[in-house]
Amino acid sequence: MWKVLLVEDETFVRESVKEIIRWEDMGFTLTGEASNGEEALEMIRQEPPDLVLCDIVMPKMDGLALLKETRRAGIPSKFVMLTCIGDFESMRQAMEYGASNYILKLSMSVKDLRETLAKISAELSSSRPSGVHGNTGAPPDTASSSRPMPVNPLDKITHPEVKKIIQFIDRHYAEEISLASLSKYVMMGENYVSALFKKKTGETLIHYLHRIRIEKAIELLKSTELPVNQIGQNVGFMNDNYFIKIFKRMTGTTPSQYRQSQ
């Protein structure tokens, strides 16, 4: 079983988190509780858990400070942050310091928690030597830990908001899309969305959008006789020169040259 430390100053929230799911069924066991960051840090130093489920806003030492101090101590425990809607800057900082995910406290559901724990379990399994799972030797029964790495790393994205962005772009690449519109779509701050997408996919949002549009343009260049400028517009580039510039940057050739080479 993976060991979990629950850090939350509100007793009601702590009890709710403890009771919302059957932890053992997910391969986890709650081994400790703390009501503030200082208390939690001592517990982490004495017996590092596999996962720290931690509120961001707490007395004495908040969740961000706890995460930073844990990392400074060289302790690799996974962190999942509990937060409130609108606390985008704190969430961004938490992701920068290596938090694996966050959960909105006001809308927390069994599904949210189960999906998050499945993701953490897979991360823990992949980072430990074969046969070593937590401190009891009992591996969680998760199919994801035995699946081979897919060819496209984006297929492994489990973060709900990042998946929503990817799905939105894949459906609406031909329309006008901006960071502002995507941030509004997932109800998050622009800076946070930008940093989160880069962290989870390895690509910037604009690079991913361009890549999808160029891939679609290549399909049209191969399968149709449409003029280059029309193809550019069909995949979301309203400026012909900009389309040609991005196409050449990503393929090494212009759209016309690419079509002639086929």
Domain covering 2-146, topology: Rossmann fold (3.40.50)
Q: Where do the structural domains in the chain lie, given as residue ranges? A: 2-146, 148-262
The per-residue pLDDT of the chain, averaged, comes to 81
CB atoms closer than 10 angstroms to residue 59? 10
Residue 137 clears pLDDT 50, i.e. is over it: no
In this prediction, residue 155 carries a pLDDT of 55
Predicted structure pTM score: 0.50
Question: Has domain 148-262 been given CATH number 1.10.10.60?
Answer: yes
pLDDT at residue 96, as a whole number: 73
DSSP state of 123: H
CA 22-9-70 angle, 5° bins = 85
- Across-strand partners of 51? 4, 78
Strands of the sheet with 51-55, listed across from one edge = 28-34, 2-7, 51-55, 78-83, 101-104
Q: Is the pLDDT of residue 7 over 90?
A: yes
- Tell me: the pLDDT tens digits for 25-50? 889 999 899 989 999 999 999 999 99
- Measure the N-to-C terminal CA separation of the chain; round to a whole number of Å: 55
Residue 56 burial by CB count (10 A; 0-12/13-18/19+): exposed, middle or buried? buried
Q: How far apart are CA 52 and CA 25, in angstroms?
A: 18
Q: Is 169 helix (H, G, I), strand (E, B) or coil?
A: helix
